[in-house]
Amino acid sequence: MPVLGATQIALISTVSAVIGGLAVSWWHRKTLSKLQNSVNSEDIQKTVHLKDPAAED
């Protein structure tokens, strides 16, 4: 197995860091989207419940 030079190691490290950063940002964005959808659905349910004429009887 050939010994890698400093430039090759730096390139591999950089590519690995970029791929890892993209994976983390995708996961974070997906998680925030799920949480936001959860909050929005709770708000909609509360609004529908408050405006429901049958609930006022």
* pTM as predicted: 0.55
Please state, in angstroms and rounded to a whole number, the distance separating the CA atoms of residues 47 and 30.
26
pLDDT digits (tens, 9 = 90+) for 13-53: 999 999 999 999 999 999 888 888 877 776 666 665 555 55
pLDDT given at position 40: 72
The torsion of the CA quartet 10, 14, 15, 16, rounded to 10 degrees, works out to 100
CB-based contacts of 4, cutoff 8 Å, min separation 6: 12
Q: Where are the domains of the chain?
A: 30-57
Please state, in angstroms and rounded to a whole number, the distance separating the CA atoms of residues 13 and 7.
10
Residues of the chain by 3-state class (helix, strand, coil), percent to 5? 90, 0, 10
Which DSSP state fits 52? -
